[in-house]
Amino acid sequence: MKQATIIMNPSSGKEEAPAFVESAAGLLRAQGYEVVVKETAAELDATRFCAEACEARSELVVSIGGDGTLHETINGFENQAHRPRLGIVPLGTVNDFARALHIPLDPEAAVSALASSRTRRVDVGRLNGRLFANVVAAGPLAETLSAVTSEDKSRFGAFAYFKEGAKDLLGRSGHPLVIRYDDAVWEGASPLFIAALTNSVGGFERLAPEAAVDDGLIHGFIVKDLSFFRTLTAGLSLLRGHLQDHKDVIYFTAKRVSVSSPSPVGTNVDGEAGPPLPLALDILPRHLDVVVPEAAAG
């Protein structure tokens, strides 16, 4: 009998995961799956559960939770010869990966979409030997974004990131960064470097409009050291989705990127605090099959 593994984080979002597990399990059983439900209790449980599902040759792994749970689940696919299809029921605040794939942000509709026969093959990023789904950021602004509280995220959604970020940009300048991308090098002070795999970053769906989930490319944005007034215009460009056109932003695409600094610099990976510098990024093109709604664009 074909097997589906549901991985759910009971603490994610508004703690409503158990209700959606019931309906997802019912729907998958009706489709002929034997369903195994795994509830996470601590960091990295989702990675272990997903690795076990790969080893058991599950056909489908469903992540029910926020971007943190999805990030940990995707890491379970690392070095696996058999990679099940991935289903996503987004319960977090931002849900960038689901946005980029046109998976409904309404969890009930996302559960229904698990019955879809359609999948998309998507790129996965690799950072210092671990995998990531959507975005890596480095610099003082990335440090601030890692510190956004769960309460603020629940209350203000994606705006919480912007609020914290704007406060921080006005108060601090950039760190010295050395960014190598394919054969090019950029050196300078920057409050923020973003490496995005999809068009949705921090809930802003037009930040990287040209980033397709399966283009095999890392889309890089280097925000150059900003003065107070320029910061405001860069913020507006971010909201309007024209960050790459801003005169203080360098935009590039590459297959390999590295970031280093003589100073300690914080990072953020898929919305959670990431490893310290140096960073080495590359891309695994079209590495995962994700279940998407029959009518999803793209």
Ligand X SMILES: Nc1ncnc2c1ncn2[C@@H]1O[C@H](COP(=O)(O)OP(=O)(O)OP(=O)(O)O)[C@@H](O)[C@H]1O
Catalytically active residues are: 272
Per-residue burial over 90-107, b = 16 or more CB atoms within 10 Å of its CB, e = otherwise: bbbbbbbbbbbbebbeeb
CB 268 within 8 A of CB 67: no
Closest CB to ligand X among 65 and 125?
Answer: 65
Task: Compute the C-alpha angle 258/167/97, nearest 5°.
Answer: 50
Residue 12 within binding range of ligand X, rule CB under 6 A:
yes
Residue 99 within binding range of ligand X, rule CB under 6 A:
no
Q: Which of residues 261-280 bind ligand X (CB under 6 A)?
A: 271-272
Please give the structure tokens belonging to residue 151: 């309460």
Give the amino acid at 232: L
Residue 68 within binding range of ligand X, rule CB under 6 A:
yes
Q: Which residue has the tokens 């991308």?
A: 181
Residue 199 within binding range of ligand X, rule CB under 6 A:
no
* The one among 31, 80, 149, 150 contacting ligand X by CB under 6 A: 150
Closest CB to ligand X among 91 and 292?
Answer: 91
Residue 152 within binding range of ligand X, rule CB under 6 A:
no
The DSSP secondary structure of 198-250, one letter per residue, reads SS-BTTBTTSSTT--TTS--EEEEEEPP--HHHHHHHHHHHHHT-GGGSTTEE
- Taking contact as CB under 6 A, which single stretch among the options 11-19, 74-82, 112-120, 222-230 is the one that binds ligand X? 11-19
Residue 273 burial by Cβ neighbours in a 10 Å radius (0-12, 13-18, 19+): middle
Residue 41 within binding range of ligand X, rule CB under 6 A:
yes
Residue 140 within binding range of ligand X, rule CB under 6 A:
no
What does the chain come to in residues? Answer: 298
Closest separation between CB of residue 173 and ligand X, Å?
Answer: 28
* Residue 254 to residues 179, 183, 214, Cα–Cα distance (Å): 12, 9, 14
Residue 10 within binding range of ligand X, rule CB under 6 A:
yes
Residue 87 within binding range of ligand X, rule CB under 6 A:
no
Residue 93 within binding range of ligand X, rule CB under 6 A:
yes
* The one among 43, 106, 108, 182 contacting ligand X by CB under 6 A: 43
- Taking contact as CB under 6 A, which single stretch among the options 3-11, 98-106, 236-244, 280-288 is the one that binds ligand X? 3-11
Residue 40 within binding range of ligand X, rule CB under 6 A:
yes
Distance CA 166, CA 291 (A): 36
3-state secondary structure of 146: helix
Residue 76 within binding range of ligand X, rule CB under 6 A:
no
* The one among 67, 123, 143, 164 contacting ligand X by CB under 6 A: 67
Closest CB to ligand X among 11 and 116?
Answer: 11
Residue 75 within binding range of ligand X, rule CB under 6 A:
no
Residue 146 within binding range of ligand X, rule CB under 6 A:
no
Neighbouring residues of 20: CB distance < 8 A, sequence distance ≥ 6: 8, 64, 89, 91, 107, 108, 111
- Taking contact as CB under 6 A, which single stretch among the options 27-35, 59-67, 177-185, 207-215 is the one that binds ligand X? 59-67
Return the number of other C-beta atoms located less than 10 Å from residue 133's C-beta: 28
The binding site for ligand X (CB under 6 A) comprises: 9-13, 40-43, 65-69, 72, 92-94, 150, 153, 271-272
